[in-house]
Amino acid sequence: MAAPEDAHPHLVVFDHPLIQHKMAYLRDVATSHRPFRALLYQIAGLMVFEVTRSFPTSVVQVQTPLERIDAHRITATITVVPVLRAGLCMAEGILEMMPEARVGHLGLSRDEQTLKPVVYLRKLPRDLDAGPVVLVDPMLATGGSAIQAITLLKEAGARDLRMICLVAAPEGVSSLAAAHPDVRIYAAALDRQLNERGFILPGLGDAGDRMYGTV
């Protein structure tokens, strides 16, 4: 069987058993908002390991109890940007692993009729070109929100961008890759398709509503 990356060269899909195990609980309609939030947090934390693989490091001198050595530290200024609301829990899980990262916020809501994103909040650090920027949103459906978010981040100066999501639809991956071919997409799962209302199938429902119990 062809790997998802063959059809979508900009996409990295996680096939790790622990992530798939947690995704099974996350998708389950019987999972309520409290464990749903915990799962988003945990899966995002696990994904950080691969998402940060390309981050630059600098050599620093460290004195161990026995010797002085050359060690490596990530010295770049990292910015994590969750898309409200659904990106918030994932961002917290990422920050658990990278507590020194800065956080920018983008408020985007998808109009249920047109499926187009509406921007309602934009609060970003001024020097987004200071280092890697990680856009965080659990759902990549039509791709409209991610395309808009990355356009806003580039307008604000971001140069080194990647996106982390949980569930991606093939339609959204293709649209995002066409609009922003420089941005690598990391997803815990590549799902089958969108339905006529723009929901990902099989998906996990509306992540924002499930996170906060507003279903």
CA distance 6 to 168: 15
Shortest Å, Cβ 126 to ligand PRP: 24
Question: Of the candidates 71, 135, 74, which has an alpha carbon nearest to the alpha carbon of residue 103?
Answer: 135
210 binds ligand PRP (CB under 6 A): no
> In sequence order, what are the beta bridge partners of 80?
103, 134
How many Cα atoms are found within 13 Å in the side-chain-facing hemisphere of 67? 3
Q: Which is nearer to ligand PRP, 27 or 130 (CB)?
A: 27
Q: Which parts of 153-172 interact with ligand PRP (CB under 6 A)?
A: 172
Residue type, 208: G
139 binds ligand PRP (CB under 6 A): yes
Shortest Å, Cβ 197 to ligand PRP: 10
64 counts as catalytic: no
CA distance 59 to 13: 31
Cis, peptide link before residue 85, omega less than 30° from 0: yes
Which of 10, 85, 102, 162 binds ligand PRP (CB under 6 A)? It is 85
* Contact region with ligand PRP (CB under 6 A), list: 39-47, 66-74, 123-131, 133-141: 133-141
Residues labelled catalytic = 110, 114, 206, 209
